Amino acid sequence: MTHSLSVIILAAGKGTRMKSSKPKVLQTLAAKPLLTHVLDTCAQLETDKTIVVYGFGGNQVQAAMTDYALTWVEQTEQLGTGHAVKVTLDELPQDGESLILYGDVPLVSETTLTQLVTANTSGMSMLTLTVDNPFGLGRIKRDDANNIVAIVEQKDANEAEQAINEINSGIYCVDNALLHKYLPKLSNDNAQGEYYLTDIVKMAVADGIKIAAIEPEDEFEIEGVNNRQQLANLERRWQAKLVEDLQVQGVQFADPARVDIRGQVEAGQDVFVDTNVVFQGHCQIGNNVTIESGCIIKDSVIGDNTHLKPYCVLDEAKLGNQVTVGPFAHLRPKTELANNSKIGNFVETKKSQIGEGSKVNHLSYIGDAQVGKQVNIGAGTITCNYDGVNKSQTTIGDEAFIGSNSSLVAPVTIGKTATVGAGSVITKDVDDHALGVARGKQVQKDNYKRPTKNK
């Protein structure tokens, strides 16, 4: 039997309390839209169809999600969660089952969803949690045999029901046949005048269906975002979890509360991360790496024993082993630093390869360059790679020495073990083993009298 799993994501809410021109599901957590978190988690499951129910700001939401294959269904009026799922019925397969998720509940995990699907053996499973303060949430009613019999919303609950601590997360896995059967029958005869999705529980129980319930591993998995405070709170808890996962793997953080992982970090052992470091995108870090304060590292690979001094910015850079960078270096996309190379303070690199053991220690711009092994590039050296129209390449051979304050006007090649005199503007190739100097000759006027001011 082929098994079909669909996903229905409710994302029609406006998010008034965010006080934003952006639809709520496009607000970001760990630099990624809330809805994208849900879609990326679903992408790890084997799903056949993902339906997103949109309302407010639909065009904006759709434009931001073009990387995903989605079926969009508009809910023009927000008449309740049951109504939101009902409007998907034309698009929902008759057989198989569906996960019902929310665009503003971003952190539900793949593990939890897999367990929820596995738990759905009789038609319906749901994610519940026993909490200290259940106020505002739907309560799970169970009978004497501990079977779920109904969900009661806060506003409809009597005193005894309000005392129940097991709450409804709103996340379910339901057979599509049951959704097709029950949703058209929902009524809005309740305290909020809404079509409650939760009412399908009673209908299923009346049909003799035994509803399975599981709990998530982390409470934050079922938490939604309605305002900026909740968003910031969820961000902190997510960061704490990411940091904890890395600590377990042997990474030391100077202060777990002062680091941000906006993406995914893989790291070896004995990595030290000082305060206020930000990781973005996908970063891979080897063993024994030291990352000092204030570094911002995006989509980069860092080899073993490498040391980033304070305030370096790395973007799509690839660093070998025993490399030293910074302080205050900017490694832009396609920078590749070979083993034992060194980039010093106030150096910018872009689309350049720096060979093994080579040094660019101070105040330089190295762009579109191929630098060999054991090269020394003096302070203030600039590769002039751009003439206003074209980008050109600079090639520097092994063991070359570039004197300070030189301009290498590309395209240009400096040979192996060649030397460039300090202060040169090099416009022609310098051969292997040769010295190239291109600067004004020094003149001297003896006993020179400086101008004096008229009194």
- Within positions 137 to 156, which residues make up the interface with ligand UD1, using CB under 6 A? 137-138, 151, 153
Distance in Å, CB of 37 to ligand UD1, minimum: 13
Nearer of residues 56 and 328 to ligand UD1, judged by Cβ: 56
Instruction: Verify binding: residue 78, ligand UD1, rule CB under 6 A.
Output: yes
Distance CA 425, CA 81 (A): 70
**Active-site pick, 83, 330, 362, 433:** 362
Q: Which one, of 230, 272, 235, 279, lies nearest residue 255 by Cα? A: 272
Q: Tell me: does residue 81 bind ligand UD1 (CB under 6 A).
A: yes
Alpha-carbon distances of 234 from 1, 228, 340, rounded to whole Å: 40, 10, 41
User: Out of 7, 84, 174, 246, which residue is the one contacting ligand UD1 (CB under 6 A)?
Assistant: 84
Helix (H, G, I), strand (E, B) or coil at 238: helix
Give me the residues paired with residue 213 across strands: 126
The single residue among 37, 49, 83, 86 that binds ligand UD1, judged by CB under 6 A, is: 83
Site for ligand UD1 in 209-228 (CB under 6 A): 224
434, 417 Cβ separation under 8 angstroms: no
Q: How far apart are CA 242 and CA 255, in angstroms?
A: 13
Which residue, 428, 436, 368, is CA-closest to 400? Answer: 436
With CB under 6 A as the contact rule, which of the stretches 5-13, 119-127, 295-303, 321-329 interacts with ligand UD1?
A: 5-13
Binding to ligand UD1 by residue 102, rule CB under 6 A? yes
> Known catalytic residue: 307?
no
Rule CB under 6 A: is residue 100 a binding residue for ligand UD1? no
* Residue 367 binds ligand UD1 (CB under 6 A): no
Q: Applying CB under 6 A, does 297 fall inside the site for ligand UD1?
A: no
CB of 349 within 8 A of CB of 361?
Answer: no
User: Which of 2, 8, 3 lies closest to 172, judged by CA?
Assistant: 8
Using rule CB under 6 A, residue 88 touches ligand UD1? no
Does 13 contact ligand UD1 by CB under 6 A? yes
Q: Judged by CB under 6 A, which of 117, 167, 312, 354 binds ligand UD1? A: 167
Strand partners, 317: 335
Instruction: Report which DSSP code applies to 267.
Output: E
Which residue from 368, 356, 347, 364 is spatially nearest to 413, judged by alpha carbons? 368
Residues belonging to the active site: 362
Q: Which residues bind ligand UD1 (CB under 6 A)?
A: 10, 12-13, 53, 75, 78-81, 83-84, 102, 104, 137-138, 151, 153, 167-170, 196-198, 224
